[in-house]
Structure 1
Amino acid sequence: MEQLLILLIFLPVIGALVTAFTGNAAKHVALVFAVASLALTAVVAGQFIPDASTQFVVNLPWIQDLGIHFHAGIDGISLITVLLTNVLVPIIILASYQHNYKSPAGFFALILFMQAGLLVVFTAMDAFLFYIGWEAALIPIYFICAIWGGKDRIKVNMKFFVYTIAGSLFMLLGIIYLYLQNPAHNFDIQAFYQLHLDPVQQGWIFWSFFIAFAIKMPIFPFHTWQPDTYTEAPAAGTMLLSGIMLKMGIYGVIRWLLPIVPAGVQEWGNTAIILSIIGIVYASLIAFKQKDAKRLIAYSSIAHVGLISAGIFALNTQGMQGAMIQMLSHGVNVIGLFFVLDIIFSRVKTNTIAELGGIAKSAPKLAIAFLIIVLGTVALPGTNGFIGEFLLLIGIYQYNIWAVVFAGLTVIFGAVYMFRLYQNIMLGKTNELTVGFADIKGTEQIVLVIICALIIVLGVYPKPILHLSEASVQQLLEQVNQKLTSVK
């Protein structure tokens, strides 16, 4: 069983090394390895028993003098994020087929290296290994954005790098402190769970981890790097950042923050919810004013992630389960949105909303696909966005009725600016840029069919995903409550 997880983690590394030496065939080789990873994930999911246990465990000595192990495993929570990663990476690679990137071997190899880093983050049960994966996922996306990004890529990318490195250093300090408090002198996650820290210690550790996770998601006021980076990054980079990488922060809160410092969460969780809700309202209002479609989607992502964050800190089953399925749904939807905008930009060389219009007349297939993705994004019942947002709002309501009043604005505001975006781009009169707009075909059509199918299937039948994480979520919340009782 442990061989499956080792292969799952290292297959993208092998793929990246092979891809790096394949020249113009790189995209095909990368896709083969990404699909192989997806097939292996299907095997893991098929053998997974949906209880609260950690399965496929690997625990190998690494740096024994420091108590560091290559310790990884999969439970219901991590399986959702592994599925998210290995479903979306082949879609992102296929979506990049329409581009002729310079040095394609390097570009697609970096995507696979990033996939490996993400899988380490989502399966690590050793804090040192978790930190290595956290940094390993950052390095490839930095080069993807810096080499293949837009004209302001260097300045924007430097801001992104400084933000994320600063957050990582805070987290590293927290990890080192926990290691020093651990009598066993190792970085094992279960040992960290068993630590008895006083409320003051937990408060400091809360902020050391939360800042790192809040930057990655991002949560107000740690979000300022995000819109510029999403706009300047190449299409695949934006999809990786928005679809998968921001989930590292959400996963970090669930896996590391809540069970290690529950008293810190109890003291500062209300602040985290307030910041999340401020981000929802702020980002939604800013989205109304955006003239660039890519920036509008970037701000809408901040609003949706703010809702997920608020649901997690509500500390109840509905909020946590809503966060689990919404991570997957948001990843699918946001990749679909950015891919549609990439298709439009590849035809007319602009994402300025005022310069578009009437595209549906000459590209009905694209218009239908875009509408389905928009409906999923605004959480129409029957689409993937509905069940996640419904559970999140229930969870926040159980926490505080006023919190859900303001958090619910993400649904109302989101529907307004997303439908207005669709109207301005797809409907109305054509102009000299859009009059001869070519409809989707080939890989563009395949990608959008897959995304639309996922939106509908997850919306109509979300039970299998919720069932995977249910037992692990229940165990985590029980663990948090038990530690809070012992602290009191």
Structure 2
Amino acid sequence: MNVTLLLLLLLAGSIVTFLSGDKLASKIALLFSVSAFAVSLYLLTLFNQGEIISYVGSWIQKPNVSLAFKADGLSLAMVLLTTGLTPLIILSSFGNSFTNSKNFYALVLFMAFAMTGTFLATDGLLYYVFWELALIPIYFIALIWGNGDAESRKKAVVKFFIYTLAGSLFMLVAFAYLYAKAGSFILEDLYQLNLTDTEQFWIFFAFFAAYAIKIPIIPFHTWQAKVYQKAPTVGTMLLSGIMLKMGLYSVIRWQLPIAPDAAKEYMPILIGVSIAGVIYGSIVALRQKDLKKLLAYSSLAHVGLIAAGCYTLTADGLNGAVYQMIAHGFVIVGLFFAAEVIFRRFETRKINELGGIRSQASKFTSMFMILVLASVALPGTYNFVGEFTVLYSLSQINIWFAVFGGTTIILGAYYMLKMFQNVMLGETNTKIFADVSINETIVFVTIIGFLLFFGLYPKPITELVNPAIQNILAVINRS
């Protein structure tokens, strides 16, 4: 099947949403996002039946750039994550009002289009174009519809834009060099290159500059907390739930197979830096007084562990990283939505100004508690499957990597449960907290249902992802 139909649907949705007017924009965007998810499920069905999901067409003659897209199990998992979360993120915004909402929702769909293209592209320059396109809508979403005064938003967003753009330029230079060697940007052709150790070193760290900022890995994380805090919750969900997965996916798809010897040589350093992010993010989260910033640093800790799993270069590490990408995407979107629900009622995100919600909203309390437990990888949730697999892979490399990486569970349990206690328990707050609406319930129940179902039965995702991971490992270990 021509996989470009999914991309065209998302792009058309963005255009139609923009032309629909402010009153209908949110509903049109939701309709197109649900349709895109349905198409993704259809692609999954065809893929499971053995059909090749790809498209190759001519684009630019000199240099030779193709419109090349292909979906294997890994890219399909990321596409399903993107198209599955997008309608939930749009639906979660129905409790908010946005000026020029047609522009807002058009940008959301355009961002989904760009991220989906990043996961499907198999031509290096085409991949780079989609990678950069995804940056444009989030820039405007955070700048125009963000929180706080305009000047502080501008500083945070401009810093993010410059950081990510600068890192991406290193990746572009790497692609230009690879094209000079291979005469092609096609992924399979780049896999076949026999690069020297010196060439692999520079290519590897050129990619690393782009991916470490996007993920982010410390010390390239300084943009994250401010942008997560200043962006509207929809923007924060898109960033944390999907966009950072572009960097993690790209490590597995592009960086490791193209420069495998460099990855093997610097494995201990890369794992060490990633785990340092786990510890740093957890410790800083302990000290946060703003609910959104606490969740931002919690996300930093979790993605550090995912990055460590990627750099183990083992089947368990790569598989576990993908499982945790998916689980983290759902749980962090749920947690940021819970923070938004609280802000809608109390108009504050300061933890010391909250409390007493449990006595007023039992349904919301129960769902928030499940999300908190999923975040700390309680057995029975899909987060446990991902974190356990990653920690097991780290123990195969060095037991101390697993010990220090495991601090994310211990420290995470402490700061998340402490946060829950301060926000939800205690004496009844003087402000009225209405329990969840129908739209809010749909979002929470869908996310929780996913985390619990695949926590108890992860086999479908495992069978989808593992063959693609094995193929990538075969390329990494070919020498």
Please name the residue that 2:367 is paired with.
369
Question: CA offset at residue 458 of structure 1?
Answer: 1.5
Instruction: Answer yes or no: is 1:89 the counterpart of 2:86.
Output: yes
Q: Where does residue 20 of structure 1 map in the other structure?
A: 18
Q: Which amino acid aligns with 2:471?
A: Q
Contact 1:50 1:469 in 2 (8 A): no
Could you tell me which runs of 5 or more consecutive residues in structure 2 were left unpaired when the two chains were aligned: none
Match of 2:137 in 1: 140
Following TM superposition, where does structure 1 have runs of at least 4 consecutive aligned residues deviating by more than 6 angstroms? none
Q: How does 1:295-314 map to 2 (within 5 A)?
A: 295-314=293-312
Contact residue 286 and residue 415 of structure 2 kept, 8 A: yes
User: Displacement of 1:50 after TM fit?
Assistant: 8.1
Distance of 2:277 and 2:246 partners within structure 1: 18
Q: What's the counterpart of residue 422 of structure 2?
A: 424
Identity of aligned residues (%): 47
Amino acid at match of 2:28: V
- 1:109 maps to which of 98, 106, 110: 106
The aligned counterpart of 2:121 is 124
Distance (whole Å) between structure 1 residues aligned to residue 106 and residue 450 of structure 2: 26
Residue 463 of structure 1, aligned match among 449, 454, 459: 459
- In structure 1, how many angstroms separate the alpha carbons of the residues matched to 2:357 and 2:458? 33
CA distance in 2 between counterparts of 1:384 and 1:177 reads 40
Matching of residue 356 in structure 1 with residue 354 in structure 2: yes
**TM-aligned CA deviation for residue 432 of structure 1:** 2.4
CA distance in 2, matches of 1:425, 1:279: 26
Report 1:289-300 matches (<5 A).
289-300=287-298
SS in 1 for 2:102: helix
Map 1:206-355 to 2 at 5 A: 206-355=204-353
Equivalents in 2 of 1:380, 1:315: separation in Å? 26
**Bigger mean CA offset, 448-457 vs 139-148:** 448-457
Query: Which residue of structure 2 aligns with residue 169 of structure 1?
Result: 169
1:474 aligns with 2:470: yes
Shift of 1:363: 0.7
Select the residue among 440, 450, 453 that pairs with 1:444: 440
Whole-angstrom CA distance in 2 between matches of 1:194 and 1:419: 49
Deviation at 1:450, TM superposition (A): 0.9
Q: 1:63 aligned to 2:60? A: yes
TM-score (norm 2): 0.98
Task: Please name the residue that 1:7 is paired with.
Answer: 5
Deviations 1:293-326 (A, max 9, x none): 1000000101000000101111111111111111
Please tell me whether the aligned partners of residues 341 and 351 of structure 1 are also in contact (alpha carbons under 8 angstroms): yes
Structure 2 CA distance for aligned equivalents of residues 49 and 80 of structure 1: 12
Q: Which amino acid aligns with 1:55?
A: I
What's the CA shift string for 1:420-458, capped at 9, x where partnerless?
11111111112323xx21111121111111111111112
Summarize deviations over 1:49-100 as a string: whole Å, max 9, x none.
388xx93110000002211000000001101100100000000000011111
Matched residue, 1:157: 157
Q: Which one of 397, 401, 404 corresponds to residue 403 of structure 1?
A: 401
RMSD: 1.0
One-letter amino acid of the structure 1 residue matched with residue 105 of structure 2: F
Q: Distance in 1 between matches of 2:77 and 2:442?
A: 24
Q: Which structure 1 segments of 5+ residues have no match?
A: none
Distance 1:458 1:326 in 2: 12
- TM-score, normalising length: structure 1: 0.96
Q: Deviations over 1:142-195 (max 9, x none)?
A: 00001001122111101111111111111111111111111xx22111111011
| Higher relative contact order (Cα pairs below 8 Å, separated by 6+ residues) | 1
SS in 2 for 1:42: helix
Cα deviation code 1:22-67 (max 9, x no counterpart): 121100000000000011011011111388xx93110000002211
- 1:277–1:307 CA contact under 8 A, matched in 2: yes
Counterparts of 1:424 and 1:190 in 2: how far apart (Å)? 52
SS of residue paired to 2:378:
coil
User: Tell me, what secondary structure is at the counterpart of 2:206?
Assistant: helix
CA contact (8 A) 1:50 1:471 kept: no
| Residues 357 and 429 in structure 2, CA contact (< 8 A), matched pair in contact too | no
What is the rounded CA distance, in whole Å, between the counterparts of 1:407 and 1:72 in structure 2?
35
Counterpart position of 1:412: 410
Displacement of 1:131 in angstroms is 0.2
The count of residues paired between Structure 1 and Structure 2 equals: 475
Pair 1:77 & 2:74 matched: yes
Alpha-carbon separation, structure 1, partners of 2:474 and 2:62: 34
